[in-house]
Structure 1
Amino acid sequence: MTMLGRVRLPTPTKDEDDELYSGYDDYHPAFNTKNINEDEYLQEALKSSYGKRTRMYTGLKTPGSAMRLGTSSGYREGAMRPVTGSMDPVSRPMTAVRGAGYTSQRNDSIITPRPSVTPIADRPEERIEDKIRRIEKSIMELVDSSCIAASNKEYSTALEKAKEASAKEKNLIRLQEQSGMGDTHNMELTSLVLFNLASQFENNEMSNEALNTYSAIIGNRMFQNSNQLKVNMGNIYARLGQIPKAIKMYRMALDQVPNTYTDYRAKIMHNIGILFIRMGQFNDACGSFEYIMQERPNFKAGLYTIVCYFAMGDKEKMKESFTKLLSIPLDIDEERYTLTDDDSGSKLVQEVIRDDKLRRLERELTSVAHNCILTAAKLIAPAIDTSFSAGYNWCMEAVRNSSNSVLAGDLEINRALMHLKQREVGPAIDILKGLQKNNEPRLATTAATNLSFIHYHKAEFDEAEKFAEAARLSDAYNAAAYVNLGNCSLAKGDAEKAKNYYLVAVDNDPSCIAALYNLGLVHKRLEQYEDALDFFLKLHAIMSSHPPVLYQLAHLHQLVGDIDQAIEWFLQLLSIVPADPSILQKLGEIYDHDNDKQQAYHYHFEAYRYLPSDLRVLDWLGAYYVTHRVPEKAIPFYEKAALMQPHESKWLLLIGSCHRRSGNYQAALNTYKTTLAKFPDNIDCLKFLVRLCSDLGLKETSEYAAELKRAEKAKEIRERISSSRSGSRRSSGRSSGGRGGFSPGNVESPIPQTAYRGSTAFPPPSSHGQQQQSQHIDVSYNDPLGPIQERPRTGMMPPRTPWGKSTEEDFADEEITQDLLPE
């Protein structure tokens, strides 16, 4: 370390005003090097490995250019000397001290001292064995995190953790090989990491990656029992629809499973049998399920065996398999749940085990067994004998002689329901009435509920109410009984009583769909739309994609005036049933009411495409084209309507008016003549013919005028006779012709309708009937298509008709504009 010495410079001349280098030898005591060996901080810093000295706090500021050992400002103890370089007329160069980190600007901030540096001892280098052990532990933590995430259905997170664990495991293998410790690698850890990675690939539906990973595990013979993973590969192939490959993998895995693992082998054989059923190879499937019934019998395998023999049509094998199914032991001790003594300790134990996890598992197993037996009986009963009644008798006899005799009553109920499916109501009622007298409450209330349902559909509401009340008395918590009571009350007109019954049903069973739906309908009938919306929204939470519920929600929003929300519900309903013409027509009606003609036309035309026979849609589409001044396009729709209602004169008159508006007067005349031939007393048709023939200059004008006068007189006489007999006016039926009292709103739809809001081009039927009641020959008429909209007049001369008349003279009593007549 270079020590600073004292430097003496020549003394300046006395003539100078100021000593330029005065104070050069004055410096701060911190720069004194006399006692450097006694400076403990410096000595400690020199001994440390970092070689830096701890900063000593002196209470003074960091030296700047004014405190440096320079000449521009100088430093004196007690005060700072003003800069003399700027006052000197002769500029001198600055000294080269800026590169050392000093500055010529003063810094008034207080410099805090640095903490003392403690010498760091040399760490001992980590051994390679400890490092490998630490990496293995981190890999296991990642695998555990991946499994926990997968159990929580967080499959993407689980896959990320599995990939990270696999990457660390590869780095660990590389480290061991570089250290010459490749023989000490933990193969179990590698197999665990790969298996977890393949499982997460499978959970994320990355089938190819999962198959490749499983193949890598199976291909390494150092992994024990890896061949059993072929079952997983078979599951993936089955999910992909590659059934032959799946069967091959299952059989390869079955060859590697020891015979002592009977449960595992039975599960693999079960999968093979299911795949054979999907391929239609029932004989091979029977072999797989028969093997299970011999080695490890269970109810599902017995049911699938019966299904295979049913598909093959083997009656004897069906009976034999059903008998084997009934002989499978359930191994559930029901007596331990029965209280045998009055000991308080025993009662407490009974209360604890009555609904524990083991008891719930036993109930689930019992339910599966009973469902398999009942399903098998319903399947084979119509096939094992000449009639399904005889087949049910054989099945019930077999069940009564087995340990599952409690299912005989359920088979009787299934037999009654089968009679109902065959439209044999009488035998079904007899069977249910016999079961109603059964001592078992469950069978009695079920039979009474079904009897109430049958009588309700036969419109025998008193009988239905009687059996529903009997079902309620047998089981006070039977929600179906309360629903039937509510239905009977609603059929009798007592909506409030029906609502109370439905509410009780919902209290007993909050998930009772029938009660919730009927409650919504009752509130809707009582015009309590908000309450109805609440019930249908609850039902929507249970059945999110049920079309009737979606329709009711849409219709209720329409009734409360929320059109936008109604449209959203209708569109959601349309996404489920896209080919429903009534929903399409409803949407078109809503858009038409909102004057969105383009959307209204789109949905009406879609409804016509799916159901061309809907008169409302045909009427609207025809009116749409007429109002848009293209009547020739409306003719096909009116022709279809005329084919559907051949005895309705309205459609023929509309066709004639469309021909006349499009300028095809000859076609219009022929149409009116055809209409008169079918309806000789139609006054509107006669008026059209009289005026059209007179304008065309035809000789039939007088003939049609006489017929018109005769028809009007006949109509007047009929009305007088009718009024004198009944004292009230009645419509004269077909003789009053015209529109025949039809309006699009009169056509009943499969779903409820609101008030018709279609085109206004068609006047209501009542106004049209009033126009036909004339007392003299009046050749003026109103067009069934309604008045034609006028457009602004141009400066051109009005065009002439083919017979020489102007358009103002032709059909002067109608509002016919010039642009609708031929040029």
Structure 2
Amino acid sequence: VCLVYRGGGGSGGGGFGGGGFDDDDDDVSRVVADDGLKEELRRRHNYITKIVVQSAQLISEKIDRQGGFEAGYAWCIEQLRSGGYVKLANEVELAKASKYMAVKEFDKANAIFKEFEKKEPRIKARAATNLSFLYFLESEVGQAEKYSEMALKADRYNARAYVNKGNVLMEKGDVEGARTLYNEAAGIDPYCVEAIFNLGLASIRLQELSYALAAFKKLHNMLPDNVEVIHHIANIYDLMGDFNATVRWLEHLSSLVPNDPNVLARLGALHQRFDEEAKALHYYQESHRVFPVNMDVISWLGAHYVKNELYEKAMPYFDLASKIQPQEVKWSLMVASCYRRIGNYPLAMMKYKKIHSSHADNLECLRYLVHLATELGRRAEAQEYVNKLKKAEKAQALQVDALQTAAVAAQQQQQQQQAAAAAAAAAAQAQQQQQQQQQQQQQQ
């Protein structure tokens, strides 16, 4: 690895040689009586395997820049096989398949995993586990279930295989069965993150919030800075109705992702729910600063300032909303209303006129145009808007009448259809009774 990063290129320092570790080391533990020694050998075996695989992953993209990681992995695998390290070569090949999955080349990953189906049980179990996961990602639930069962048959202590089978059951709607399998996986491997995470999700689905909280808190101890885990803990406390704990965990989450507008808005909504207006305002303002086009946040800020009669501060938010949603006339009307409430009638008049030019039949706009023109002493203009208002009100009344008439007609038609259906059913029943009576008379 060092040679490659120092510019050794594809030479790799002559391949993987020596080191006193080979495939026969697995067999040594079978004849060693001392359990402590067996455990030490197993630990060393796992450590060396991990280092070799990580080394291959590091240098795979450096060895052959033209061929990419595929050529790099191929070189590493060939070096290991030629040196007699077949099992290590298999591990590196599995890592290559995982790389294919990471870059979404699922067909190539699938081909590698299928090759491992023909190999020894341990490798076969790992390949089947990965195949199950791969098929699940592609929504082929039947195949995912088949390979998860194959993996468990080859190795009943395979925690990830239990997770895969649990995912299949979850997809089928058997949440309780899935949770049982996640529990089994966590029992086999107490550090299996996928098992504990999914156990928490399944418990939420089952409304067993205390179990879900325990699962995610265990994960938090393992992964203290994982934002998704912290987010779930905050959600669970919210579902439990524990306001203080929810805020505490969301604030912790916000310290890790300080520019996440959704977390900030969530904190604002929580404080608003419990009438902590000042804190709600702070978090909504911070959320708006980070992401200024969230309509829920804009609407809340504008409404907050209107409620507190700070119309000058409300106007920029409503104006921004009118630009984001130009088809929604209510935002422009709110801007005009703010001008009107602070007594700036000329600007309010200009704004209402602009609204009228694009929404000629809007009654609220016309009513305020009449009112403002009257206040400003523009009688002729006021009369013009009065005429337009009467015309718009008449048109709206006709439209309402037409809709009501159509609704009544539709209701009458539905009633007629129901009556006709009932009459037809009664006639059919009468005919059936008549036929039964005729049959009885013939029998007599």
What interval of TM-score do these two structures reach, taking the shorter chain for normalisation? 0.7 to 0.9
Which residue does 1:69 correspond to in 2?
A: none
Preserved contact between residue 237 and residue 246 of structure 2 (Cα < 8 Å): yes
Which residue does 1:307 correspond to in 2?
A: 5
In the alignment, the residues of structure 2 paired with residue 513 and residue 625 of structure 1 have an alpha-carbon distance, to the nearest angstrom, of 46
Higher relative contact order (CA 8 A, sep 6+): 2
Structure 1 gaps, min length 5: 1-302, 310-316, 340-346, 729-823
Q: Select the residue among 634, 644, 656 that pairs with 2:336.
A: 656
Which residue does 2:176 correspond to in 1?
A: 496
Q: Select the residue among 53, 60, 74 that pairs with 1:371.
A: 53
Q: Select the residue among 148, 153, 159 that pairs with 1:479.
A: 159
- The structural deviation recorded for 1:550 is 1.8
Which residue does 1:29 correspond to in 2?
A: none
- The structural deviation recorded for 1:634 is 0.9
Within 5 Å, give how 1:774-793 maps onto structure 2.
Answer: none
Q: Select the residue among 166, 169, 190 that pairs with 1:510.
A: 190
Which residue does 2:269 correspond to in 1?
A: 589
Preserved contact between residue 326 and residue 373 of structure 1 (Cα < 8 Å): no
Preserved contact between residue 148 and residue 164 of structure 2 (Cα < 8 Å): yes
Preserved contact between residue 683 and residue 712 of structure 1 (Cα < 8 Å): no
Q: Select the residue among 38, 43, 49 that pairs with 1:355.
A: 38
Q: Which has the higher helix share?
A: 2
**Which AA in structure 2 matches 1:380?**
K
Report Cα offsets for 1:84-128 as digits up to 9, x if no partner: xxxxxxxxxxxxxxxxxxxxxxxxxxxxxxxxxxxxxxxxxxxxx
Which residue does 1:701 correspond to in 2?
A: 386
In the alignment, the residues of structure 1 paired with residue 313 and residue 350 of structure 2 have an alpha-carbon distance, to the nearest angstrom, of 19
Within 5 Å, give how 1:77-156 maps onto structure 2.
Answer: none
Preserved contact between residue 29 and residue 38 of structure 2 (Cα < 8 Å): no
In the alignment, the residues of structure 2 paired with residue 457 and residue 688 of structure 1 have an alpha-carbon distance, to the nearest angstrom, of 58
Report Cα offsets for 1:12-61 as digits up to 9, x if no partner: xxxxxxxxxxxxxxxxxxxxxxxxxxxxxxxxxxxxxxxxxxxxxxxxxx
Which residue does 1:100 correspond to in 2?
A: none
- The structural deviation recorded for 1:422 is 3.4
**Which AA in structure 1 matches 2:392?**
E
Q: Say if 1:685 and 1:449 are closer, same or farther in 2 by CA, change over 3 A.
A: farther
TM-score (norm 1): 0.46
- The structural deviation recorded for 1:625 is 0.7
The alignment partner of 2:38 has SS state of: coil
- The structural deviation recorded for 1:393 is 3.3
Q: Select the residue among 7, 11, 16 that pairs with 1:326.
A: 16
**Which AA in structure 1 matches 2:6?**
C
Which residue does 1:521 correspond to in 2?
A: 201
- The structural deviation recorded for 1:630 is 0.8
Report Cα offsets for 1:273-328 as digits up to 9, x if no partner: xxxxxxxxxxxxxxxxxxxxxxxxxxxxxx1111222xxxxxxx422125x24124
Preserved contact between residue 325 and residue 373 of structure 1 (Cα < 8 Å): no
Preserved contact between residue 182 and residue 195 of structure 2 (Cα < 8 Å): yes
Which residue does 1:414 correspond to in 2?
A: 95
The alignment partner of 1:541 has SS state of: helix
**Which AA in structure 2 matches 1:571?**
E
- The structural deviation recorded for 1:575 is 2.1
The alignment partner of 1:350 has SS state of: coil
1:562 aligns with 2:252: no
Report Cα offsets for 1:463-494 as digits up to 9, x if no partner: 33333222222221222222222222223322
**Which AA in structure 2 matches 1:318?**
G
The alignment partner of 2:145 has SS state of: helix
The alignment partner of 1:355 has SS state of: helix
Q: Select the residue among 19, 28, 33 that pairs with 1:337.
A: 28
In the alignment, the residues of structure 2 paired with residue 356 and residue 413 of structure 1 have an alpha-carbon distance, to the nearest angstrom, of 25
Q: Say if 1:325 and 1:627 are closer, same or farther in 2 by CA, change over 3 A.
A: same
Q: Say if 1:410 and 1:594 are closer, same or farther in 2 by CA, change over 3 A.
A: same
1:632 aligns with 2:312: yes
In the alignment, the residues of structure 2 paired with residue 656 and residue 580 of structure 1 have an alpha-carbon distance, to the nearest angstrom, of 33
Preserved contact between residue 337 and residue 350 of structure 1 (Cα < 8 Å): no
Preserved contact between residue 60 and residue 72 of structure 2 (Cα < 8 Å): no
1:427 aligns with 2:108: yes
The alignment partner of 2:343 has SS state of: coil
In the alignment, the residues of structure 2 paired with residue 666 and residue 581 of structure 1 have an alpha-carbon distance, to the nearest angstrom, of 37
- The structural deviation recorded for 1:526 is 2.4
Q: Say if 1:724 and 1:452 are closer, same or farther in 2 by CA, change over 3 A.
A: farther
Preserved contact between residue 693 and residue 701 of structure 1 (Cα < 8 Å): no
The alignment partner of 2:33 has SS state of: helix
The alignment partner of 1:579 has SS state of: coil
1:710 aligns with 2:365: no
Within 5 Å, give how 1:59-74 maps onto structure 2.
Answer: none
**Which AA in structure 2 matches 1:428?**
A
**Which AA in structure 2 matches 1:700?**
Y
Q: Select the residue among 198, 204, 213 that pairs with 1:533.
A: 213
Q: Say if 1:616 and 1:367 are closer, same or farther in 2 by CA, change over 3 A.
A: same
1:446 aligns with 2:126: yes
1:380 aligns with 2:71: no
- The structural deviation recorded for 1:602 is 1.0
- The structural deviation recorded for 1:555 is 2.3
- The structural deviation recorded for 1:715 is 5.3
- The structural deviation recorded for 1:372 is 4.9
In the alignment, the residues of structure 1 paired with residue 46 and residue 26 of structure 2 have an alpha-carbon distance, to the nearest angstrom, of 17
In the alignment, the residues of structure 2 paired with residue 638 and residue 377 of structure 1 have an alpha-carbon distance, to the nearest angstrom, of 56
1:542 aligns with 2:222: yes
Within 5 Å, give how 1:599-748 maps onto structure 2.
Answer: 599-680=279-360, 682-689=362-369, 692-693=372-373, 697=379, 698=382, 699-714=384-399, 716-717=401-402, 721=406
| CA RMSD of superposed structures (Å) | 3.0
Which residue does 2:429 correspond to in 1?
A: none
In the alignment, the residues of structure 2 paired with residue 414 and residue 517 of structure 1 have an alpha-carbon distance, to the nearest angstrom, of 24
Preserved contact between residue 56 and residue 76 of structure 2 (Cα < 8 Å): no
